[in-house]
A = this chain, B = another copy of it.
């Protein structure tokens, strides 16, 4: 059987008891390590599980899935996913491939950023669709996120923005020359995301939000040192939220007073928070 096991968000102890039992008895244990990261090293996971863990990069999962599935018709293979196996990145391809090969699958859910973002105090009912923000390059500054954000803004809903991570990426030169040399990992910060959002608004000029729009920055959600801030996008371009992973939530105007009362404690500056809030938020529908 193929077991897709969610690891949760922070460290080795965020696995569920059910998940841990599976990992301990599995024949092989893979860790999907290219769309998200835990805040601890693989060696810490191995020590905790008492088992070797095989890192599965994008190439292995997308092209070598039959290697992962080898023998899974007779023994148990565990495929570990940071967060939830069907969260921000879904692994339906692997499940479909297993089905084709007559291999049974079992999913062990866990916390995903897409629900744990509720720990900001913003209600999950008030979120619209989630968007992704990629690192802008000199000649590639995609603004498709902006159209999705507009759809949420028009309704008055919050938007969760998931921030790009670059793990095991090759430079164009190394890629062209076929050298398996990888760049150091990079994780987008809340400040970078806020700056890219402002740039996009000032390029597109469609008034979806402004520098004074309120947003929350969230770092290391679910970890003991989780950090939250709320401020204007302009203010967020200057916050330092510390180590990865970061996420951002653009507030919708339907923000409820109970949400405001909760998030205000995280304000970069209570005066600018109150001023922006009073001007543009708290609409009941």
Chain A residues packing against B (C-beta within 8 Å): 6, 8-9, 11-18, 20-21, 84-88, 90, 92-93, 95-96, 99, 106-112, 114-116, 118-121, 123-132, 151, 155, 157, 221-222, 224, 226, 258, 261-262, 265
In the bound complex, do residue A128 and residue B125 qualify as a contact, i.e. CB atoms below 8 Å apart? no
- A114 and B126 CA atoms in complex are apart in Å by 12
Residue of B nearest to A15 (CB): B17
Tell me how far the C-beta of A102 lies from the nearest C-beta in chain B, rounded to whole angstroms: 14
A86 touches B119 (CB 8 A): yes
B14 touches A14 (CB 8 A): no
Query: Nearest residue in B to A9 (C-beta to C-beta)?
Result: B109
**Once the chains are docked, how many angstroms separate the CA of A85 from the CA of B13?**
17
Copies of this subunit? 2
Best-surrounded residue of A9, A18, A124 (most CB of chain B within 10 A) = A124
- Centre residue among A92, A132, A262 by max chain B CB count within 10 A: A92
Contacts of A21 in B (CB 8 A): 13
Q: Considering the chains assembled together, what is the distance between the CA atoms of A212 and B90 in angstroms?
A: 28
Chain B nearest CB, measured from A6 CB (Å): 7
Q: Is the beta-carbon distance between A129 and B115 smaller than 8 angstroms? A: no
A156 CB to closest chain B CB, in angstroms? 9
Task: Tell me which of B86, B115, B128, B265 contacts A112 (CB under 8 A).
Answer: B115
Inter-subunit contact B9/A13 (CB<8 Å): no
Q: Are B114 and A8 in contact (CB under 8 A)?
A: no
Which chain B residues lie closer than 8 Å to A126 at the CB level? 129
Find out whether the CB atom of A14 lies under 8 angstroms from the CB atom of B13.
Answer: no
Q: Is the CB of A110 within 8 A of B9?
A: no
If A15-B16, A124-B130 touch, whether A84 touches B111 (CB-CB below 8 Å) is yes
Residues B111 and A114 in contact, CB atoms below 8 Å apart: no
Is the Cβ of A129 less than 8 Å from the Cβ of B125?
yes
Chain B proximity of A245: nearest CB distance (Å): 14
Known: A16-B13, A125-B130, A155-B129. A119 touches B96 (CB 8 A): no
Please tell me if the beta carbons of B114 and A114 are within 8 angstroms of each other in the complex.
yes
B residues near A123, Cβ cutoff 8 Å: 90
Question: Given B14, B111, B116, B262, which contacts A96 in the complex, CB threshold below 8 Å?
Answer: B262
Cβ–Cβ < 8 Å partners of A111 in chain B: 6, 84, 109-112, 115
